[in-house]
Amino acid sequence: MDSTNQLLKPLTTKRNENGNLEIGGCDLVNLAEQYGTPLYVLDEETVKAICRDYKNAFKGYPKVNMMFASKALCTMATSRLLFDEGFGFDVVSSGEIYTVYKAGVDMTKVLFNGNNKSFDELTLAIELGVGRISVDNFFELSLLNEIAKSHNKIVDILLRITPGIECHTHEYIQTGHLDSKFGFDLTQTDEAVELILKEYSNLKLHGLHAHIGSQIFETSVYGDEIEIIVKEIARLDEKFGLKLDEINIGGGLGVKYTESDCPPSTYTIAGIITDRLNDCVKKYNINPPSLFIEPGRSVISTAGVTLYTIGSSKQVPKGKKYVAVDGGMADNPRPSMYQAKYSAEIANGKDKPALKTVTIAGRFCESGDILIDGINLAEPEEGDILCVYNTGAYNYSMASNYNRVQKPAMVLVNNSQSDMIVKRETLEDLISHDVIPDRMKK
């Protein structure tokens, strides 16, 4: 069965009577005029559809907890939207913890993850009642127990392990292979468990946590990951008498950035995961654990687009034609970092335009600031609005103020209504934290 993450564009995308692109019943040209560009646009209906896909896909397994990977996109409005759709949250910083807290999320449905959590971050997590902390290393075990003891609390934890699985994604987004900065190697879990049982009395271990990567298209790796985790749980039970009852397999399901991408559906991976989990429960004779899954990109990416205004252009003699937009690597660093590819089209209607092959260049002072290298567009001209698809995940999250440029606004669209959920930064915002020392003032 198909699912929303396999779409290139938001569900509500269409051309209206004026020939303009429309999403969520909102004319994109009008949105660009009203809110300015660059502009992140998020389609509420598409977000809700993929949430329903996940819930329906996994309904055959009785104990499933959907945890949105907040690093993909973390704002108060999106956190509230996903919480209302039944999701918990995987968070990786005090900023993400505080954002979901202020959005009104039930903090018992939040898991704090990361490889170098600070004293202040762990303290905040305990004080705000974060439901699980995924412990990444021996230093953190000791630090967390110390903080928990000082607060007179028992903290519920998972151990993050490195399962030794490599996915064929970009090397920077592989997290499950052995040579990784994340998690305990399987040769270290016994020592960690012994410390928890014998010394760290303020920590309660519930299960194991692993990630195998991001933008995953290989379905078999999920089954391999399940086997490794369940086998380890059975081994720990046999050695220590532990009855661990939770496994967290991370997320990582891919999305369709271009027509050539063919990500598996949520229903496909759900079948593989639950079938393998049921088989392994019997094979290793353990009680069926609660399953935590942490989709991020596949929940939010398809729902988002970015609007740009086209500006200057340059035809290289006997070479490429460059068309520049008013954004680029500061609002979408993924092409520069990962060689990520995107699809786009002109949002404003044109009368039978001829297609031109162009390269979309950003406005930032780097030769590598290229958003799309070689794309067929309908006669791009100065003032046109360019709509880049599948930008809901990691674009806003990874945005910067490079070249001292303000970050874009973000709007949520639904039923012909648009609501600003992130304000556009102003010039005053840019300098609001700058300080000139008194000794430099005249």
- The phi and psi torsions of 250 (rounded to 5 degrees) equal 70, -155
What number of other Cβ atoms are within 10 A of residue 39's Cβ?
Answer: 25
Among the listed residues 254, 401, 398, 403, the one whose alpha carbon sits nearest the alpha carbon of residue 333: 398
**Is the distance from CB of 361 to CB of 320 less than 8 angstroms?**
no
From the candidates 167, 280, 365, 387, which is the catalytic residue?
365
Q: N- to C-terminal Cα distance for the chain?
A: 70
User: Among this protein's residues, is 365 annotated catalytic?
Assistant: yes
Q: What is the set of active-site residues?
A: 365
